[in-house]
Amino acid sequence: MSHHGSGAAQRTVRDVVFVDGVRTPFGRAGEKGIYAGTRADDLIVKCIRELMRRNPSLPAERIDEVAIAATTQTGDQGLTLGRTAALLAGLPRTVPGFAIDRMCAGAMTAVTATAGGIGFGAYDVVIAGGVEHMGNHPMGAGADPNPRFMSERLVDPAALNMGNTAENLHDRFPAITKQRTDAYAVASQEKLAAAYGAGNIQPDLVPVATKKPGQGWTVNSVDEPPRPGTTLADLAALRTPFRAHGRVTAGNAAGLNDGATAALLASSEAAAELGLPVKMRMVSFAYAGVEPEVMGIGPVPATKKALRNAGLDISDIGLFEINEAFAVQVLSFLDHFGIADDDPRVNRYGGAIAVGHPLASSGVRLMTQLAHQFEADPSVRYGITTMCVGLGMGATVIWENPHHPDYSGAAPTAAATATAAEGATA
């Protein structure tokens, strides 16, 4: 019989809770955008500082990790971003950090990677987020894909261009017509405008002051990409840049954007100890790979895997936050699960087609919006955040609503914790 030493404690997996999430307003990439001339790392620093300001009961030295994602890890998005952003934000030098790249699912991976650390007992409180300044760093700029991708035909050349993969998805699912994707895009704009009108977006936005030559300072407090009032006729007139007579346009896809997001996560025990709010409890997460040529289908296998891990069915999900990289990709997910294009559970506040998709940052935007919807609708017990990921992947996180009457993640009382500790040592 092997003996593993007398000192090691028995480990139990701990509950991970979403405490708070913020983001900068999203901008349009390019020299006319609000963040032209602004550094990417400064955008993430704004988010970290705002999280600390909003949660004054959290001592900065209690943060155990800062995980920040960027897709293009160079220039002002390079240099181990989690560590440099922590230092720039004024967190104590004892707080470590690291950088992450999973393309569009960067911030989502920052959340799940650190959530694993919380569950394992390595962390109590973390900051996880992402930033993408696509004006400073166009997607793929400076990258050097291995020539084997082409010479050995490991992937179709089209797979390296996300717009082409969206056209491929239309080919695979002919029932998803351009008419449907345009109608979905119009609805996304309408829902975002309604959410702004109801004050549902503004509470989690961090105002960002920017300075441009000859214009002085501007305080940016709303998203730049939305085009409220967009009509089907407007979208029908747009060109199809990825294919002649194609179906993907600038109107039914997310644009090129700049922005940053950050979230606070904690163990349920640490949240109770520090008096931090609990907005959601993480139930499960999953990542899946698909053919890079149809990367937009990625959320389907990722969601099946996450549901299986959680012991849930798609019918248990009361709210969906799906990243709208392309309308066709959202519709392929909805069709697979038998969900209507206009189902009120889906993207209640609109999505990336309207608000923008600064690649690595978007995962936390989905979470922040889901948390807001959970609070507004206690009848919903479970929700998911899901997205397709460049190079053929999908990512899904399932969350539980603490406001639901059957919420299973109540923080243990001191007596229950003591009893559990006795049981572990028995």
pLDDT of residue 150: 84
Q: 336 an active-site residue?
A: no
Between the alpha carbon of residue 253 and those of residues 152, 257, 369, 382, 412, the distances in Å are 31, 12, 20, 27, 44
The answer to whether residue 411 is domain-embedded is: no
Active-site residue identified among 133, 137, 372, 388: 388
Beta strands in 86-142 (DSSP E): 97-100, 125-133
Helices and strands (DSSP H and E) totals, the chain:
13, 12
Cα–Cα nearest to 370, from 356, 381, 384:
384
The answer to whether residue 418 is domain-embedded is: no
Cα–Cα nearest to 389, from 175, 106, 104, 172:
104
| Full residue range of the structural domain in which residue 353 is found | 16-138+146-404
In 10 A of CB 335, how many CB atoms? 16
pLDDT of residue 6: 64
Tens-digit pLDDT string for the chain (426 aa)? 555 556 777 888 999 999 999 999 999 999 999 999 999 999 999 999 999 999 999 999 999 999 999 999 999 999 999 999 999 999 999 999 999 999 999 999 999 999 999 999 999 999 999 999 999 999 888 889 899 988 998 888 777 788 999 999 999 999 999 999 999 999 999 999 999 999 999 999 999 999 988 889 999 999 999 999 999 999 999 999 999 999 999 999 999 999 999 999 999 999 999 999 999 999 999 999 999 999 999 999 999 999 999 999 999 999 999 999 999 999 999 999 999 999 999 999 999 999 999 999 999 999 999 999 999 999 999 999 999 999 999 999 999 999 999 999 864 444 333 333 443 434
pLDDT of residue 7: 73
Residue pair 166/326 in contact (Cβ under 8 Å)? The answer is yes
Active-site residue identified among 104, 133, 137, 170: 104
Q: Decide: helix, strand or coil at residue 112.
A: helix
How far apart, in whole angstroms, are the C-alpha atoms of residue 105 and residue 66?
17
The answer to whether residue 409 is domain-embedded is: no
- Indicate the number of domains in the chain: 1
How far apart, in whole angstroms, are the C-alpha atoms of residue 181 and residue 232?
10
pLDDT of residue 423: 38
pLDDT of residue 331: 98
Q: 104 an active-site residue?
A: yes
Cα–Cα nearest to 285, from 367, 379, 341:
367
Helix axes 299-310, 327-336, angle to 10 degrees: 40
First to last CA, the chain: 19
Active-site residue identified among 133, 137, 170, 357: 357
The answer to whether residue 5 is domain-embedded is: no
Q: 388 an active-site residue?
A: yes
The answer to whether residue 61 is domain-embedded is: yes
Three-class DSSP labels, 37-93? CCCHHHHHHHHHHHHHHHCCCCCHHHEEEEEEECCCCCHHHCCCHHHHHHHHCCCCC
The answer to whether residue 182 is domain-embedded is: yes
The answer to whether residue 45 is domain-embedded is: yes
How far apart, in whole angstroms, are the C-alpha atoms of residue 75 and residue 181?
36
Identity of residue 401:
N
pLDDT of residue 422: 41
Q: What is the CATH number of the domain that holds 106?
A: 3.40.47.10
Residue pair 418/314 in contact (Cβ under 8 Å)? The answer is no
How far apart, in whole angstroms, are the C-alpha atoms of residue 408 and residue 282?
11
pLDDT of residue 213: 87
Cα–Cα nearest to 95, from 50, 53, 62:
62
The answer to whether residue 300 is domain-embedded is: yes
